[in-house]
Homo-oligomer: A and B are copies of this chain.
Amino acid sequence: MAAIATDVVMFTVHNQQLKVLLIEMKKKPFVGYWATPGGMVNPEESVDASAQRHLSNKAGIKDIYLEQLYTFGDVDRDPFGRVVSVAYFSLIPDADKFQIKTTHDYADISWHNVDHLPKMAYDHRHIIKMALDRLRAKLEYTNVVYSLLPTDFTLAEMQQVYEVILGKNLDKRNFRKKILSLNMVEKTGKKTEGTAHRPADLYKFTKKSPQIVQIL
C-alpha cells in the first residue's frame, strides 16, 4: 500500500526577504535538487507528531507554529513509489536564532528566497506555492505574524514582515491604527537602543496563540 510522509514548509523573514528552508538531496534521481524537510510517518506516531519530529531532527526546532496545509496524493508524485504526503507549514521568528543541522543524509540545508527557488524535487515547488498562498491569506485574517517576530519587536518591524510577505507597501499610520485597535499587542515599556536615530517603542503580543482577527 501507499506510504505516508510529512513535509514541512518552513518560512522566516530575514533581511527583508521571505525565506523557505530547503534541503539539498543526495539520492537519484534528485541529486542536486532541493526539497522541503520531511520524511516518513512512523507506525506508532501521529501524522502531526511526525511533522514535528522531522522538523526537530532536521532543524532543531520545537514548539513553533505548525499547521496542516494540504495532503498531496497523486499516484506519480514520488518516483520511489506510492507516497502520500501530508504537508504542513510553519513559521519561525528569525533564521539565525535556530541551529540548522546538516546531516549526512543530505548534501546541504539552507534558507532560500521564495522568489528564487532552486531546482525542486517531487511536487515541492507546488507545495511551497500553496503554503505561500496560505500564509498570505492567514496573515490578513489571523495573528500568525506573532510566529515570525521575536518576543519584543517594534511596530515598524512588524509592518515590514507584512510588507515582505504581501509584497506591497502599507500605510504606516493606518497599519499602526489597525494593529493597536485589535489589541493584539501591548507596549513593553522598553525602547530600542543603540540606533543612530530616535528609539522606537518595543511591543509584545498579548496572546501568543492562534486567533482569528481581521487585520488588513
Q: Do B43 and A71 touch across chains, with their CB atoms under 8 A apart? A: no
Size band of the A side of the interface? Answer: 20 to 34
Residues in chain B near residue A48, CB distance under 8 A: 73-74
State whether the Cβ of A46 lies closer than 8 Å to any Cβ in chain B: yes
Q: Are A75 and B45 in contact (CB under 8 A)?
A: yes
Partner of A73, one of B2, B41, B82: B41
Q: How far is the CB of A215 from chain B (nearest CB, A)?
A: 15
A2 is contacted by which of B4, B68, B71, B82 (Cβ under 8 Å)?
B4
**A2 partner residues in chain B, CB cutoff 8 A:** 4, 41, 43
From residue 1 to 57 of chain A, which have CB atoms closer than 8 A to chain B? 1-4, 41, 43-48, 50
A47 to B87, CA, bound (A): 14
Contacts of A74 in B (CB 8 A): 46-48
| Chain B neighbourhood of A47, CB < 8 A | 71, 73-74, 84
A86 touches B (CB below 8 Å): yes
Q: A70 at interface (Cβ–Cβ under 8 A)? A: yes
CB-nearest residue of chain B relative to A70?
B68
Q: How far is the CA of A26 from the CA of B47 in the complex (A)?
A: 28
- In the bound complex, what is the Cα–Cα distance between A60 and B68 (angstroms)? 31
A3-B1, A4-B2, A4-B4 are contacts. A73–B44 as well, Cβ < 8 Å?
Answer: no
**For residue A84, which residues in chain B have a CB less than 8 angstroms away from its CB?**
4, 41, 47, 84, 86
**Which residues of A, 162-207, contact B by the 8 Å Cβ criterion?**
none
A87 (CB) vs chain B CBs: closest residue: B71
Taking CB atoms, residues of chain B closer than 8 Å to A50 are 73
Shortest Cβ distance from A6 into chain B, in angstroms? Answer: 9
Whether the pair A75, B1 counts as a contact (CB closer than 8 A) is: no
Q: Which of A2, A68, A75 has the most CB of B within 10 A?
A: A2
Chain A residues near B (Cβ < 8 Å): 1-4, 41, 43-48, 50, 68, 70-71, 73-75, 82, 84, 86
